[in-house]
Amino acid sequence: MQVDKDSQVIILPRLNSLDHSTEHKIINLPIPKSSSSSSSSSTVSTKSYLIQDSRLFELNVIKGDNSNVRLKSGDAVKSYIFEPVIEPKGINSTFPADEDNRTQGAVLQSCHTLIASPYNFTYLLITIFEKHGDKFSRFHTLDDIRDRLSSLELGHDWVYDIPRVVFLKSLANICESIIEGGGGNGDGNGEEGNRSLSDAIEDAGDRFFKYSETKSLEWINSKIVALQQWILHSDDDKRTTNSIMSKIKKGLHDPTRNEDTSTNQEEEQNQLMDQMAMIYAIDYVCDSYIPDTKSKIISQFKYDFGKVDDYFAQLKQKQKDLEAVEANMNEVITATANTTNASATGTKKNGKKKNPVKKVAVGKGALDGFFKKA
């Protein structure tokens, strides 16, 4: 059995039933940075992505929980163990096999797992076009755009690793396009959107693209709205609530409010949840892939979160008032307890019992006989 400390497990996307084999390629793409970032380094940070046919996947590391015993790197002392199995003849195993086609198995010391999540290449193009908008403000062919992208900055050799189909899909989302010879303006929808990919690739050399910020913002907003609706309604038919919605409800909970189920209060809560879900959606989409577009999105589509801000300001004030009341009550309780204890202590000190005075009946005293009349 082999022991490997460098290899890692990767969860690949499910293949179609018709796909018996497919080629996977790993490339590194630049990580978008906000223009306000304080980092002055010229080194471009990259992240690994997986190309499978005409699809692009983002590779993220899932780290195992740390156990009590840790390695020097801080990772948990955990491993993947692949037991020896007998493979059917004709099947090529990943691990060495003996004469009986029995694999030797293996132990992977790394407890980290890579997962491939679908990634939309349009996000990366938006960040580049927004940064170098003057270079894409005119119509260019696909080949011209790729050449310009590769020459913009160091480390842009990845441009030619991206399939042309992926480029065409993304450009259709955020660019105006025309076909040489009077084909008209296309936006990737309607008749243009129904064309096959093979036809689109065939005439890509005659098609010209120009970046449109308006179209780009509309595309981003469509993704934000879709995520907002998922947050609000993904658990409508389920007993459990997704983690984002649970966090929203917990944050909006007002412990000082009566359990009133009136229509007005329910409507107010729904409006607050709508706005909170939108805030989460904007943060997730923009902060993850296109940080510089957040303010533009909020301004372009006139998103107003004043109701949420006012609610949290009121809730914060209520919590302060409640804490003040609790503090006053604790002071009263403490003062009362101290007074009670002091009174009890004083009673013990001054509470000695006096001996009762014996009363003598009249005519029974010692001198009563002396004073009797003779």
Domain boundaries, the chain: 220-253+268-313
Global pTM exceeds 0.75: no
Distance CA 161, CA 341 (A): 82
Pull the structure tokens for residue 372: 């009797």
Closest CA to 84 of 101, 99, 72, 66: 101
- Tell me what pLDDT residue 367 has: 57
CB 77 within 8 A of CB 112: no
Can you tell me whether residue 337 is helix, strand or coil? helix
pLDDT per residue, tens digit, the chain (374 aa), is 566 666 777 888 776 656 556 778 899 998 877 666 555 445 678 899 999 888 899 998 877 665 566 667 766 666 777 777 665 555 555 555 555 556 667 777 666 788 899 999 999 999 999 998 888 989 999 999 999 999 887 777 899 999 999 999 999 999 999 987 655 555 544 344 445 555 555 555 588 999 999 999 999 999 999 999 999 988 777 776 788 988 998 888 887 776 666 678 888 888 999 999 999 999 999 999 999 999 999 999 999 999 999 998 888 888 888 888 888 888 888 888 888 877 777 666 665 556 666 665 666 655 566 555 55
CA 312 from chain centre, in angstroms, equals: 21
- Tell me what pLDDT residue 192 has: 46
- Tell me what pLDDT residue 29 has: 92
CB 123 within 8 A of CB 289: yes
